[in-house]
Chain A
Amino acid sequence: GAVVSQHPSWVICKSGTSVKIECRSLDFQATTMFWYRQFPKQSLMLMATSNEGSKATYEQGVEKDKFLINHASLTLSTLTVTSAHPEDSSFYICSAPSYGYTFGSGTRLTVV
């Protein structure tokens, strides 16, 4: 079946630094990737949609300069959290359309 590999699975960083999260589609081409954020005991909130070869589409209220999304190829999409602050601590997860939607394993980001 379709697999999306997401790395890292967890990361701890200092406030003010940047963190890059990668999602790779292993056995299919993902022209689209959805990026979600999930706070504890809450739902998955769509942050942005990345499309290979074009600019990402951000949901209302999501800072595009803070959450940089790049869809470099048909198998790789990245999310970079720039100048991270403690309030950015969350579970970030990607999803690509394939036989429904295939999710990555998620990244637990903790900013200290």
Chain B
Amino acid sequence: GENVEQHPSTLSVQEGDSAVIKCTYSDSASNYFPWYKQELGKRPQLIIDIRSNVGEKKDQRIAVTLNKTAKHFSLHITETQPEDSAVYFCAASESGTSYDKVIFGPGTSLSVIP
């Protein structure tokens, strides 16, 4: 089955700097890659996603890149703000319609220092 690895496990950045989180996946059939932000005690919130037919996607301060050949994808957050502090999870799914199970990476705890 699918296995998703994520690095780093913890990340501290100064407010205004950029943060990068990297993930790798094992199943070449995976073709949907969402990213979630989870605040303590709350449900994960989808922040951005990308499908395998796209190499990069951007939404304001957040961008995701995908390299299917290398089976890795990355989250980039620019101009970080204290409210960006949370745990971020990458995930991978086999289904192009996103109706298949999603396997999560272990998470990255991001701290943005004011």
Contact = CB atoms under 8 A, between A and B. Distances in A.
Report the contact-size class of chain B (Cβ under 8 Å from the partner).
10 to 19
Interface string A12-53: 000000000000000000001010100001111110010000
Interface in A68-112: 93, 95, 97, 100-101, 103-106, 108
B102 interface: yes
B43 A97 contact: no
Given A42-B107, A44-B104, A100 B49 contact: yes
B99 A97 contact: yes
Report the contact-size class of chain A (Cβ under 8 Å from the partner).
20 to 34
A49 B43 contact: no
A105 B43 contact: yes
A43 B109 CA distance: 11
Of the candidates A95, A103, A104, the one having the most CB atoms from chain B within 10 angstroms of its own CB is: A103
Interface in B29-59: 34, 41-46, 49
B98 A103 contact: no
Contacts of A41: 109
Contacts of A106: 41-43
The 7 closest A-B pairs by CB, nearest first: A103-B43, A97-B99, A43-B106, A44-B104, A43-B104, A100-B46, A43-B107
22 contacts: A32-B99, A34-B102, A41-B109, A43-B89, A43-B105, A43-B107, A45-B104, A46-B102, A46-B103, A93-B43, A97-B98, A100-B34, A100-B46, A101-B46, A101-B102, A103-B43, A103-B44, A103-B45, A104-B43, A105-B42, A106-B41, A108-B41
Interface of B: 34, 41-46, 49, 89, 98-99, 101-107, 109
